[in-house]
Amino acid sequence: MRSTSSFPALAWRKSSRSVGSGQGGNCLEVAFAGPAVAVRDSKDPGGPVLAFSASSWSAFLGRFAER
């Protein structure tokens, strides 16, 4: 786990579905940081960041596509 300062000036993205989810738009945000994918909580943008390799992130998303 890293701090947001480890990933300066990233373009954070979140699902457009999070706005109408009843959660006030709070969800996970994702940013692509070269060979890594960074993930953070939108409620705490200055908080901790999880970083995954692109291949690990792809495998993670692939599990959801199977359902």
Instruction: Kindly report, residue by residue over 26-54, the tens digit of the pLDDT.
Output: 788 999 988 899 999 988 888 899 999 99
pLDDT tier, 11 (very low <50, low <70, confident <90, very high otherwise): very high
Is the pLDDT score of 25 beyond 80? no
Task: State how far the Cα of 21 lies from the Cα of 46, in Å rounded to an integer.
Answer: 23
pLDDT surpassing 70 at residue 19: no
φ/ψ of residue 49, rounded to 5: -125, 135
CA distances from 41 to 5, 17, 19, 32, 56 (A): 14, 15, 14, 15, 19
Question: Is residue 10 pLDDT above 60, yes or no?
Answer: yes
pTM: 0.73
